[in-house]
Amino acid sequence: MKKIIWLVVMFVGGFNHLYSQENPLITQQWYSRINHNPASVGNNDAWDIFMVHRNQWVGFKNAPKTTMLNVHTSINEFSSGIGLSIAYDMEGPARTSIIGKVLYSYRINITEESQLSFGLGVDVINRANNPNKHTVVTEPDPEKGFEKEARTSLGIDFGLEFTTERFALGASVTNLGRKFERLTTFINGTQYYAYGFYRFPVSDAVDLSPTGTYVYGNNEHLLEFGATAFFNDNVWGGVVYRIDNAICFLAGFKFDIFRVGYSYDYHTNDARKFGSTHEIALSIRITKPKHGLIRNKDGSYSAYNRIYRCW
Q: What is the per-residue pLDDT across 48-105, written as a single tens digit (0 to 9) for each?
A: 999 999 998 777 777 788 999 999 999 988 999 999 999 998 876 667 889 999 999 9
Q: Please tell me the distance from the alpha carbon of residue 106 to that of residue 163, in angstroms, as a whole number.
A: 13
Q: What is the pLDDT of residue 153?
A: 83
Tell me what the mean pLDDT of segment 151-155 comes to. Answer: 85
pLDDT category of residue 181 using cuts at 50, 70 and 90: very low
CB 128 within 8 A of CB 185: no
Q: What is the pLDDT of residue 5?
A: 33
Q: Tell me the average pLDDT of the chain.
A: 81
Q: Is the pLDDT of residue 178 over 90?
A: no
Model confidence pLDDT, tens digit, residues 106-148: 999 998 889 999 999 999 988 887 766 655 555 544 555 567 7
Tell me what the mean pLDDT of segment 11-40 comes to. Answer: 70
Give the torsion sign (CA, 242, 244, 249, 250): negative
Domains and CATH numbers, the chain: 2-302 (2.40.160.40)
pLDDT category of residue 217 using cuts at 50, 70 and 90: confident
